[in-house]
Amino acid sequence: MMLLETIQLAEKLADVSGDIICQSFRQPKLQAETKIEEVSSIVTLADQKAELAMVDLLSLEAPQDGIIREEGENISSESGLYWVLDPIDGTAAFAKGFPIFGTLIGLVDLNKNTTILGIVNQPILKERWLGVRGKTTRLNNQPLVNIYAKETKSQLKDACLTSTTPLMFITQRQKAIATKLQQVCKRTAFGGDCYNYVSLASGWSAMPMVILESDLKYYDFCALIPIIEGTGGIITDWSGKPLNEQSTEILAASNPVLHQQALAVIYNND
């Protein structure tokens, strides 16, 4: 499949899942449950239906590709390519009626650990980010400019540290690193899920951003990699290595200078 056709398929996945999500958003008594052994993580019927619609579409249009998914069983690949799906990243926000969640759609060559493209789709606000490896990230088909990307004198003391929840830092080591970065950075903000990452990529924040998260799954961040890299931001694991299917600890920054400073804090507290 050519790149243009692949992008068009990814857009179709965003469309079909978005339609289902819009039908369920802000509906009272929406069916939801807490995931087993994940106190802060919930799943709704909309998650499950949106994911199934994407899986059904892929089985028709890209049956040779595999699928890594949040809600159902993974499907093996014949092509070496995998679609990585998170139907609603930020289900807690969705369940509360807050439009700060997104559908994450990534396509990765697992053999090369190369994320080919990523989409974050917010169907309520009609915002769609598309990142393609080696290209400038686009929001609603317009190129994005991260104004902080080329800053060479950025300092952690002037940055906003963001994490979805303090509950994601589980081990004593993780808690110590998070606490130290919170002490160094100018501001700390919790909440946001995937919106933290697209805000960083879009340069929306009042100050440069550093995102520190742990206890994540591959579908939580795969699609975000080309979106952030496509605006000059940087996203790695806590040791500065490229993210892969086994990664759980994520560090992203508005520019490489901030990223290196955050890595130094992690190293000194590791």
> Does the fold of domain 156-268 match that of domain 3-143?
no
Cβ 203 vs Cβ 231: under 8 Å: yes
Q: CATH number of the domain at 3-143, please?
A: 3.30.540.10
220 labelled ligand-binding:
yes
Q: List helix spans (H) across 38-171.
A: 45-61, 91-96
88 labelled ligand-binding:
yes
- pLDDT at res. 92: 87
Mean pLDDT of 231-243: 98
65 labelled ligand-binding:
no
Mean pLDDT of 226-230: 98
Which letter, b or e, does each residue of 38-48 get, where b requires 16 or more Cβ atoms within 10 Å of its Cβ?
A: eeebbbbebbb
Mean pLDDT of 82-100: 94
Domain boundaries, the chain: 3-143, 156-268
- pLDDT at res. 207: 96
Kindly report the pTM of this predicted structure: 0.93
Kindly calculate the radius of gyration of the chain based on its CA atoms and give it in whole angstroms: 18
Percent above pLDDT 70 for the chain? 94
Report domain 156-268's class.
alpha beta
The terminus-to-terminus CA distance of the chain in angstroms comes to 44
| Residue 73 clears pLDDT 70, i.e. is over it | yes
Rounded CA-CA distance 131/105 in Å is: 10
